[in-house]
């Protein structure tokens, strides 16, 4: 599953660079939101694949400070365009 997601991610990065070069702000915003969602999907997949390590006792957990406000903005942002249309 990682290979197809990484392929999509690479394609989105190329599109993003293209839209930056052509100064197409609307499409740049859209492809950026899609790429960020793809980032999250890759992170989620990697975390799911870590379950085996967790169950076998090979995973080391670390505490990390994060901003709940920024986390919620990351969750809500992909839906912003849908709501505004």
Alpha-carbon distance of 73 to 42, in angstroms, equals 19
**Under 8 Å between Cβ of 20 and 28:** yes
Q: Which residue has the higher pLDDT, 53 or 20?
A: 20
Residue 44: how many other CB atoms lie within 10 Å: 11
Alpha-carbon distance of 14 to 44, in angstroms, equals 23
From 29, 45, 40, select the one nearest 85 (Cα to Cα).
29
Calculate mean pLDDT across residues 68-76.
86
pLDDT at 46 over 80: yes
Q: What percent of the chain has pLDDT over 70?
A: 93
Virtual CA dihedral for 55, 59, 60, 62, nearest 10 degrees?
-90
Report the pLDDT value the prediction gives residue 73, as an integer from 0 to 100: 84
Report the pLDDT value the prediction gives residue 8, as an integer from 0 to 100: 87
Report the pLDDT value the prediction gives residue 42, as an integer from 0 to 100: 87
Q: Which residue has the higher pLDDT, 49 or 24?
A: 24
């Amino acid at each position: 599953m990682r290979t197809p997601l990484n392929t999509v991610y690479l394609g989105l990065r190329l599109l993003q660079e293209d839209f930056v070069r052509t100064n197409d702000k609307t499409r740049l915003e859209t492809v950026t939101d899609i790429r960020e969602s793809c980032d999250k999907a890759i992170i989620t997949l990697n975390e799911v694949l870590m379950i085996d390590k967790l169950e076998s006792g090979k995973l080391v957990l670390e505490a990390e400070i994060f901003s709940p406000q920024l986390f919620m903005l990351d969750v809500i942002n992909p839906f912003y365009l849908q709501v505004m249309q």
